[in-house]
Structure 1
Amino acid sequence: MRTKVGIVGAGPAGLLLSHLLHLRGIESVVLEKRSREYCERRVRAGVLEQGTVDVLNEAGVGERMRREGLPHHGIELRYGGAGHRIPFEKLIPGRSITVYGQQEVVKDLIAARLAAGGEIHFEVPDVALHDLTGSPYITFQGERLDCDVIAGCDGFHGVSRPAVPEGELTFFEREYPFAWLGILARVKPSAEELIYARTERGFALHSMRSPEVSRFYLQVPPDEQVENWPDDRIWAELKARLETVPGFTLETGEILEKGVTPMRSFVTEPMQYGRLYLAGDAAHIVPPTGAKGLNLAVADVRVLTQALDHWYRTGSTELLDAYSATCLKRVWRAQHFSWWMTTLLHTFDSDDAYGRRLQTSYLDYVTSSDAAATTLAENYVGLPW
């Protein structure tokens, strides 16, 4: 087998890269170890930046997103018994977010690739990368796929990043002393926009996936077991952390899924080695507080598509050589924003009265100063390309 771009991973990064390359006449093959059903059902991120929405629309895969996605023009910061809205439409005119589940983006991209005759191989075991600084190729299941370049889009635990020889990459990371217990519930959202709540009991997030399905998160200890959280306990704790302003009542209902997500920050430098280019979670992880993971993946593959297109059209490797440096500018900005949102809203050491006072002081500043609120809004909706 031979192709121009071998893509490892059929998540949003790999699928979108394959589709964007197809639109430019560049062939690719996508290899994925999981089943199609798993990829299309795995619930992950749900907040799309303005730039991500624009890319999906420009790529011709945004029809269902425009029909079913939920545009939001603000978020609420809830603390100290009051809610404070950050109005995107006032602070960043013309830019907003869209709530549309990552699994829905994956469904749209798979359908588009298959409709165009794209090659996506699911349930592919034993993927390995070879000769990354020469003539790269991928082996799997007794097969060999030769390619001009390889795109590692297979996530934090994938095979792409470990294929780079030890010492060639530098890792920057931070683990947080808590995790998120997340649930998906068949219940109408109790608010029209996302609510980020800081309380002495810990952080809580009220989100949504559709007019009938809501998404919630609770700050829990890093080693928490989901078995310790029966449905009644989850709803009781969500009420305690969200029903802190007059007149707000949290709707409850059937819980469809629940799971515990560790919180970490991670960056690989550089994001390339030889003819291997890392994108998305294979290169960087952010805590989900800033809603940047999926959006960074889209930004990465947008840059990589432009670089590959330039190389195939002109023979120049200028943009490919600059891929890592170009992506890392946005990556580190998103890392800082995600770290800042996380430290601003979560409960850390219960004895750290000084730290809690600092959090409250900065929340007061963000919710009373247009300058500070604009900084939050600009980063949240996504910096321009």
Structure 2
Amino acid sequence: MRTEVVIIGAGPAGLLLSQILNRAGVSTVVLEKHSREHVLSRIRAGVLEWGSVETLRGAGVGRRMDVEGSMHEGVSLGFANEGFRIDFTARCGRAVMVYGQTEITKDLYEAQDALGATIVHEAMDVAIEEMAGQAIVSYTTGRTRQRVTANYIAGCDGFHGVSRRSIPADRRTEFERVYPFGWLGVLCETPPAAPELIYANHPRGFALASMRGPMLSRYYLQVPAGTDPAEWSDAAFFDELRRRLPHKVAIRLVAGPSVEKSVAPLRSFVTEPMRYCRLFLAGDAAHIVPPTGAKGLNLAIADVVYLAEALIAQLRDGDRRALDAYSDRALARVWRAIRFSWWMTTMLHRFPDQTPFDQRIQEAELDAVATSEAAQTVLAENYTGLPY
């Protein structure tokens, strides 16, 4: 096949990039190693910055989000079993939208089908054969080896994908911090404990009360790294969750049987640069953030905004300035999000070597946020999304 941009990975980043490019008249081929059913079965978070909301609308995939998504104009932080709310609209004039990543992926698939976009599922053994003079990617379907020749390659295939690993090791620098804990997450068909997200610091560990809809709740507990979710019964999970949440929320908590239960590890990771020859990285292929700041999906969308703009300028107008600046532009935003996620993570979680002094410092930090409009404004600006 011959196309202008070959995109590796049919997650939200790859599909959104294909959607924006095709609407601008740029041809794409998307390669995905899993089936469509598998991609749509993955349950992920869905707190959208306002810039992400506007980007999805602009790409023609915002109709269902606007009907079914939940607008949140604030968030609550808790410590010592008490809590306080940060009003986003009062502090920065923006809000966030809670809309599941799986639903975004469904919307993107429908939009891609309507455009007649080319998406190859179960493309196995994807290999980047050339990315200097031209871009060539090969893959296997069944017993047949196929090849795609393109102008550029967009690596949107996640942390474990082939794209980042195709850049020579001596041409990339990687930064990583692995946290000594994870999030045990439970999805249950019960009404949420609160109308907005609640992040709670507690001497026993972090907790988060979230939601996916009016009758679908998502809750998290900090657990040691390597925890097997099967070790936790539903009853034990909700008992511990009540201990860690603010009292006023805990007494309203409706427990229910878990629909899904898993443990997500926490890490910060960045690779530099996000470009090598004709290969451009976007999303988790280039960076990972702890989920504490709700930045993972939003960073991927920001990357796509920058990359789509740059590719359209080059392929349609012959202007390569934005393409040459892509990596530096994206990384500047990535590192600010990494810092925010690190700050939220260190302020809210209990570390293995944490002392009573450290706990008091965390509580003092939270108290400073609770009593300072300036501190709340900084948090609100970062949480609802820095400008593109």
TM range (shorter): over 0.9
Could you report, residue by residue, the CA deviation over 1:309-347 in whole angstroms, capped at 9, with x for unpaired residues? 110123232111110000011100000000000000001
Contact kept in structure 1, 2:184 and 2:220, CA below 8 Å? yes
Contact kept in structure 1, 2:186 and 2:261, CA below 8 Å? yes
Q: Unmatched 5+ residue regions in structure 2?
A: none
Residue 304 (structure 2) pairs with residue 301 (structure 1): yes
Contact kept in structure 2, 1:182 and 1:258, CA below 8 Å? yes
**What is residue 4 of structure 1 aligned with on the other side?**
4
Contact kept in structure 2, 1:156 and 1:285, CA below 8 Å? yes
**What is residue 67 of structure 1 aligned with on the other side?**
67
- Separation (CA, whole Å) in 1 of partners of 2:52 and 2:75: 18
CA-based RMSD: 1.1
Query: Secondary structure at 1:126's aligned position in 2?
Result: strand
**What is residue 123 of structure 2 aligned with on the other side?**
124
Residue 266 (structure 2) pairs with residue 263 (structure 1): yes
Could you report, residue by residue, the CA deviation over 1:12-61 in whole angstroms, capped at 9, with x for unpaired residues? 10000000001110000100001101111211121000000000011110
Deviation of 1:189 (Å): 0.5
Distance verdict in 2 for CA 1:53–1:269, change over 3 Å = same
- Separation (CA, whole Å) in 2 of partners of 1:81 and 1:259: 25
- Written as runs of structure 1 = structure 2, the 5 A alignment for 1:218-257 is 218-245=221-248, 248-257=251-260
Contact kept in structure 2, 1:243 and 1:250, CA below 8 Å? no
Residue 287 (structure 2) pairs with residue 284 (structure 1): yes
- Separation (CA, whole Å) in 2 of partners of 1:167 and 1:357: 43
Contact kept in structure 1, 2:135 and 2:278, CA below 8 Å? yes
- Separation (CA, whole Å) in 2 of partners of 1:246 and 1:327: 38
Could you report, residue by residue, the CA deviation over 1:277-301 in whole angstroms, capped at 9, with x for unpaired residues? 0000000000000000000000001
TM-score, structure 1 as length reference: 0.98
TM-score, structure 2 as length reference: 0.97
- Written as runs of structure 1 = structure 2, the 5 A alignment for 1:126-165 is 126-141=125-140, 142-165=145-168
Deviation of 1:92 (Å): 1.1
- Separation (CA, whole Å) in 2 of partners of 1:346 and 1:156: 24
- Separation (CA, whole Å) in 2 of partners of 1:350 and 1:300: 36
Structure 1 runs of 4+ off > 4 angstroms? none
- Separation (CA, whole Å) in 1 of partners of 2:271 and 2:10: 21
- Written as runs of structure 1 = structure 2, the 5 A alignment for 1:92-131 is 92-93=92-93, 95-131=94-130
**What is residue 38 of structure 2 aligned with on the other side?**
38
- Separation (CA, whole Å) in 1 of partners of 2:9 and 2:292: 24
Deviation of 1:81 (Å): 2.6
**What is residue 310 of structure 1 aligned with on the other side?**
313
- Separation (CA, whole Å) in 1 of partners of 2:134 and 2:60: 33
Q: How many residues of Structure 1 are paired with residues of Structure 2 in the alignment?
A: 384
Q: Mean Cα displacement is larger for which, 234-243 or 171-180?
A: 234-243
- Separation (CA, whole Å) in 1 of partners of 2:81 and 2:281: 44
- Separation (CA, whole Å) in 2 of partners of 1:71 and 1:120: 32
Residue 183 (structure 2) pairs with residue 190 (structure 1): no
Amino acid at match of 2:86: I
Query: Secondary structure at 1:3's aligned position in 2?
Result: coil
Query: Secondary structure at 1:98's aligned position in 2?
Result: strand
Deviation of 1:247 (Å): 7.5
- Separation (CA, whole Å) in 2 of partners of 1:316 and 1:71: 38
